[in-house]
Structure 1
Amino acid sequence: MLTRKQHELVCFINDRLDETGISPSFEEMKEALDLKSKSGVHRLISALEERNFIRRLPNRARALEVLRMPERPEKAARAKPSTTAAAPPPANVRAVPQPANDVIEIPLHGRIAAGVPIEAFEGSAMLAVPAALLGNGEHYALEVSGDSMVEAGILDGDYALIRRTETARDGEIVVALIDDSEATLKYFRREGAMIRLDPANRAYDPQRYPPAHVRVQGKLSGILRRYD
């Protein structure tokens, strides 16, 4: 037996999936149910999961699947038994495939320098990303500022899709946090007792820091580019 809010939420999610093929965001669910905070949505989602009405798709920040639906009283009241079999659809009419639920929203944490370091994680918004661009793990996005990674195909204004990790191997492109205040997107390399952050633009020089001054915040998983 579902509570009224649980019933409203699973119906809202199911209707949105039928209409668009994409799960509603937590903000949309909060507004649709007139809740005061997203924590209420999280509690309702967890309760519906426990009752096997919905499930969260793995490795996706915004993807829900409706496993079964509760009976809707208004539809049950209108339903009438029929002894006439429904006519099959015409042979020349093809079923329309449902859109794939393949869009993920990940946090967008401001701008990151592809040139000299700048402050990172300036606020937080969300960015819709095709699931095919992401692998396993937790991801976030940063807007690229600068041209020092152009020879790696990373341009000013691109969105760098970053998988969270605190480790990296030589030659990987990482988000490096310097002195816990500034971040940059560079190739990561160890050079003796130092960490070297290499640009992909011959007009820029490598940056060298003692290991205690550099923390890896993630490594590049993909690039999303807008064409205006």
Structure 2
Amino acid sequence: MLTKKQLDLLEFIHTRVQRDGVPPSFDEMKEALDLRSKSGIHRLITALEERGFIRRLAHKARALEIVKLPDAIGGGGFQPRVIDGDMADDADPGRSEPRPETIESTAPAVPLLGRIAAGGPISAIADVQQNIAVPPAMVAGSGNHYALEVRGDSMINAGINDGDVVVIREGRVADNGEIVVAAFHDQNEYSVTLKRFRRKGSSVALEAANPDYETRVLPADQVEIQGKLVGLIRTY
């Protein structure tokens, strides 16, 4: 039998995996359960594992598998879904180069083109010849897709953390409120950033999702939309 907190955490993990294709971070779990520290989440995860509801897979960079669900969450007919971390156990999470990905034969792959700023703008994206495996739902529909590694925390309140990999559908247009890859000139340097898009008359606002960062307002003809966010992959 699960405690209320254990049940709440299991339901939260299950919902996020079904919605996003990736489990939530420990910070997101802590916030969702209104706990003061991540140590409480560690204890709940351990309890769920001991009771056979989840499994942390060895040599998979803390991959998380939901093994079963109680009837309260709709456990009938449940099939486990595994979300693998993408770093080897001995990888350095602070390294500066984009991480190579393991491509599974059954998973679609998109090119990982480098890093994108979620903070101040960075120079234009470099073409890095790597591929990254993604859940099929992220690349469903028409259009080309690519992936970028996020640098910075300006989109943290939109659930995008430093080190996440975002999956982008190529395109030149966006609706207000969508998160986009936007290119523009910043002090005579061609720069690229990940921000929320707002058109305001003849101007475009590139909004951060962090109050520590100001909204950047530019003439619309100086902003080039290069694609919009369709998915996110997080490692642990």
> Given the two structures, how large is their TM-score scaled by the length of structure 1?
0.54
Shift of 1:133: 2.5
Post-superposition CA distance 1:180-217 (Å, at most 9, x none): 82110000001232110000001111001111210000
Distance 1:145 1:134 in 2: 23
Q: Which stretches of structure 1, 4 residues or more, deviate above 6 A after TM superposition?
A: none
Whole-Å separation in 2 of the counterparts to 1:201 and 1:114? 10
The answer to whether structure 1 residue 191 and structure 2 residue 200 are counterparts is: yes
> Which one of 126, 130, 136 corresponds to residue 131 of structure 1?
136
| CA apart distance, 1:151 | 0.3
Unaligned runs of 5+ in 2: 1-103
One-letter identity of the residue aligned with 1:165? G
- Do the aligned partners of 1:102 and 1:131 also contact (CA within 8 Å) in 2? no
How far off is 1:123 after superposition?
2.5
Which is worse superposed, 170-179 or 120-129?
Answer: 120-129
Question: What is residue 121 of structure 2 aligned with on the other side?
Answer: 117
Post-superposition offset of 1:101: 5.9
Which residue is equivalent to 1:36? none
Matches within 5 A, 1:32-181: 102-124=106-128, 125-136=130-141, 137-179=143-185, 181=190
Instruction: Calculate percent identity across the aligned residue pairs.
Output: 48
TM-score for both structures, normalised by structure 2: 0.52
Is 1:109–1:140's contact at 8 Å kept on the other side of the alignment? yes
Which structure 1 segments of 5+ residues have no match?
1-99
**Does structure 2 retain, via aligned residues, the 8 Å contact 1:111–1:120?**
no
User: What CA distance in whole angstroms lies between the structure 1 residues aligned with 2:127 and 2:105?
Assistant: 28
Amino acid at match of 2:192: A
Bigger Rg over Cα: 1
Range 173-182 or range 105-114, more displaced: 173-182
Q: Using the alignment, how far apart are the partners of 1:189 and 1:119 within structure 2?
A: 22
